[in-house]
Amino acid sequence: MSSVAVTAQTAGKRAARAAAKRRGRGTRSAQRRPGRLTYILLGTVLLISMFPLYFTLLLGSSDPVTIAQEAVPQWLPDASLFQQFATVFESDRINFWKALTNSVIIAVVTAASVVLFSTLAGYSFAKLRFRGRGPLLVFVIATMAVPTQLGVIPLYILMSDLDWIGKLQAVIVPGLVTAFGVFWMTQYLSEALPYELIEAARVDGASMIRTFWSVALPAARPAAAMLGLFTFVQQWTNYFWPSIVLNSENPTLPLVVKSLQANFFVDYSLVMGGIFLVTLPLLVIFVFVGRQLVAGIMAGAVKG
Amino acid sequence: MAVLSPTQPTHRRGGRGASGPRPPRRVGFSQRLGRWDVKLSPYLYISPFFLLFALTGLFPLGYTAFVSLHEWNLLGGQGEFVGLENFSAVLAQPVFWKSLVNTFSIFVFSSIPQVLLAITIAALLDQNLRAATFWRMGVLIPYVVAPVAVSMIFGRLFADQYGLINELLGIVGIDPVGWHSDRIASHVAIASMVNFRWTGYNALIFLAAMQAVPRELYEAAVIDGAGRVRQFFSVTVPQIRATIIFIVITSTIGGLQIFDEVRMFDSTGLGGANRDWMTTVVYLYDVAWGNQKDFGRAAAVAWLLFLLIVLIGMVNFLITRRISTSGPKAPAVSRRHTRRLLAQARAAGGAGTAPPTPAPAPAPTDPTTDREDRR
């Protein structure tokens, strides 16, 4: 079990990176570079991936009359786009800034909470022995396949009884833990964290929680980062539950899309400009963390 | 595992050595403390998950059954016990059945092309690419676009008049399609939104699985004279079968719960005038928070949908396993299996795609052990 994660544990980050590089080179050197066709196909995939977003810019730069008559009103966006942005920012019916703040709060809090609780539980399932461990883990895996969204009616009744309708906690609290997160961290830690490290910490006199904090948590970092990112994206783009318990006075960004559609359905260029604004924050984040996201998937041991 | 046995604290203290035994009481106390620490900590660590999950996941799911047996509406709250009346009322609604058919149809249009496309893209990415990370990030872009936004954009691309898709079809010589009026066409449009968002994501999961396939297997296959396509079907597919099952099951669960896409596809968001593209979750929403405001019936819908998802998930699992376990178990079966797959590929993709197969290449003896060794 000489995974890169273990190298990171025993020899530090730099060595791990070097090891990963060496390994990559070793396995790949036998392979030749792919032909041009591969790049053409991948380029097409990339174009299709980007086009819908680019399309919002094109429609946002145009005007409703042209949009009603042309499939693609123009091929390059222009400065009139900023007028749409200004309208969206200033509109009272849209509440854009409030939605942005709300989305950030919800996504950050749930991501942090899912990561913490999943790592704790995952560490416990992967590395500690206790009565009932097997059945409980099976239970977690089983619930992963159960669509808990189908409990929306009682959940709504609960939120209504707590007087949380229209408040952020109605979205945050149900998102604080996920069965997937626990399963994910269990999988990762059982491979990436050698028992020797835990033993060493215990022999040195560390308490259980100290062992978790100083040994398990650092080892879990790659998978935890990825879990956090995915939770963040999932909450950020979530619409179903927020649309039920929140409203246009206290919206999240996806709810803004609905308000745009409801209030400005005649003005398509405004709607599309707004949609681009709604998508932009996550896109910017993606530019910075996309690499980790992908690397996380690749190193994060998605093996069936 | 010795570390977790209760004797550990003694060992730890004793290890410090030469100064002789400590006063028994102190050792006893810290030992007991250590033992409790070791015994209770595991439960302590898993408890936040189980407590929160019980409150926000399990309880609502169970309580749905309770609500479904009562008269219950949004404003009036709990009414009297009505037994299975809500279920029979829902089952008698033609719209409910229509929504089920729609859901299933959209699911088929989304999941099958999605898995095939994702595997193809993963195979493209699983090469010695220049700027590999760039391409991998590229296919993941749609994932960060919210489904509601995707739906609004695609609603425009699939516009019945002056929509880009119809214009493109016009170039090829196909008449404009009524994406917002024809039932099947609307399903295809909605499925394409789902595919847009999830194909790249699934491709990366497949890619991760493909990269875990030992390269020696490919080398062996090359020596045995297998071409690229043959390698793909005889080595890659059997090796990533567990991932295929995983993706098929998750896409089933997701595909049967489509909501956002339909809500934004037109301005009413209820699946068109004839409910031609209303999915069951949208129906549930409409019953609970739309016109009827009937929680009892909505809960009944939720339970019916839940049963359906479990059922289809299980069928899915069995089928996928049947298909893919015949792979690497025994070489004889494997060969027949791959030959069949190859024949299918040849039939589907035209004669040119399959490589000339020389003497039947024996499948790598036991891939599973290879894989274990590598870890």
Task: Specify whether B63 is located in the same domain as B113.
Answer: no
Give B 291-310 residues with CB within 8 A of chain A: 295, 298-299, 302-303, 305-306, 309-310
- The answer to whether position B92 is within a domain reads yes
Distances (CA, A) of B355 to A164, B121, B191, B238, B362: 63, 20, 33, 19, 16
What is the reported pLDDT for A16?
A: 54
pLDDT(A145) > 80: no
Task: Specify whether B127 is located in the same domain as B233.
Answer: yes
Task: Specify whether B124 is located in the same domain as B38.
Answer: no
Please tell me the distance in Å from B347's CA to the nearest CA on chain A.
Answer: 23
Least confident of A95-109, B91-105, B212-226: B212-226
| Terminal Cα-to-Cα distance of chain A (whole angstroms) | 18
Give B 344-373 residues with CB within 8 A of chain A: none
- The answer to whether position B78 is within a domain reads no
> Which residues of B are less than 8 Å from A124 in CB distance?
41-43, 45-46
Place of tokens 């998802």: B309
A contact test, residue of B44, B46, B136, B216 with most A CBs within 10 A? B46
In angstroms, rounded to a whole number, what is the distance separating the alpha carbons of residues B48 and B52? 6
| Secondary structure class of B62 (helix, strand, coil) | helix
In angstroms, rounded to a whole number, what is the distance separating the alpha carbons of residues B239 and A304? 10
Task: Specify whether B292 is located in the same domain as B163.
Answer: yes
- The answer to whether position B203 is within a domain reads yes
pLDDT(A18) > 90: no
What is the reported pLDDT for A25?
A: 46
Contact predicate A52/B153, CB 8 Å = yes
- Beta pairing class for B70-73 and B77-81: antiparallel
- The answer to whether position B353 is within a domain reads yes
CATH topology of domain A82-299: MetI-like fold (1.10.3720)
Q: Do B241 and A244 touch (CB under 8 A)?
A: no
Task: Specify whether B353 is located in the same domain as B310.
Answer: yes
Mean pLDDT on A63-79: 80
What is the reported pLDDT for A46?
A: 94
- The answer to whether position B97 is within a domain reads yes
Helices A81-90 + A268-299 axis angle, to 10: 90
| Nearest CB to A261 within list B140, B157, B264 | B264
pLDDT(B61) > 60: yes
Q: Give the number of beta-carbon pairs within 8 Å between A and B.
A: 307
pLDDT(B229) > 50: yes
Residues 6+ apart with CB under 8 A from B66: A154
Quote the pTM value.
Answer: 0.79
> Which residues of B are less than 8 Å from A156 in CB distance?
288
ipTM exceeding 0.95, yes/no: no
CA quadruple A56, A58, A60, A62: dihedral sign = negative
Find the residue in A nearest to B213 (Cα).
Answer: A303
Listed residue (A273, A241, A83, A82) closest to A152, CA to CA: A241
Q: For the domain that residue B253 is a member of, what is the CATH number?
A: 1.10.3720.10
- The answer to whether position B83 is within a domain reads no
Distances (CA, A) of A271 to A101, A262, A268, B368: 20, 10, 5, 53
Left if phi > 0, otherwise alpha if psi is -120 to 50, otherwise beta: which for A109?
alpha
Quick one: what percent of chain A has pLDDT higher than 70? 86
Task: Specify whether B29 is located in the same domain as B141.
Answer: no
Place of tokens 């590229």: B138
- The answer to whether position B358 is within a domain reads yes
Task: Specify whether B61 is located in the same domain as B177.
Answer: no
Listed residue (B251, B248, B129) closest to B191, CA to CA: B251
Task: Specify whether B283 is located in the same domain as B342.
Answer: yes
Task: Specify whether B316 is located in the same domain as B349.
Answer: yes
In angstroms, rounded to a whole number, what is the distance separating the alpha carbons of residues A193 and A5? 8
- Band (A192; pLDDT cuts 50, 70, 90): confident
Q: Do B142 and A52 touch (CB under 8 A)?
A: yes
Task: Specify whether B10 is located in the same domain as B96.
Answer: no
> Which residues of A are less than 8 Å from B64 in CB distance?
150-151, 153-154
What is the reported pLDDT for B284?
A: 92
Split into its structural domains, chain B has a count of 2
Task: Specify whether B140 is located in the same domain as B182.
Answer: yes
**CB proximity A72 to B under 8 Å:** yes
Domain of residue B15, residue span: 2-68
Q: Do A152 and B302 touch (CB under 8 A)?
A: yes
Contact predicate A286/A269, CB 8 Å = no
Q: Do B49 and A123 touch (CB under 8 A)?
A: no
**CB proximity B15 to A under 8 Å:** yes
Find the residue in B nearest to A6 (Cα).
Answer: B375
Number of residues in chain A: 304
Write the single-letter amino acid at A201: A
What is the reported pLDDT for B135?
A: 93
> Which residues of A are less than 8 Å from B292 in CB distance?
none
Neighbours of A276 (CB within 10 A): 23
> Which residues of B are less than 8 Å from A233 in CB distance?
143-144
Neighbours of A257 (CB within 10 A): 28
| Terminal Cα-to-Cα distance of chain B (whole angstroms) | 21
Contact predicate A192/A6, CB 8 Å = yes
| Nearest CB to A154 within list B38, B49, B60 | B60
- Secondary structure letter of residue B175 according to DSSP: P
**pLDDT, tens digit, for every residue of B179-211?**
988 999 999 999 999 999 999 888 988 998 888
In angstroms, rounded to a whole number, what is the distance separating the alpha carbons of residues B43 and A130? 8
Q: Do A239 and B148 touch (CB under 8 A)?
A: yes
Residue B344 CA from chain centroid, whole number: 26
What is the reported pLDDT for A251?
A: 92
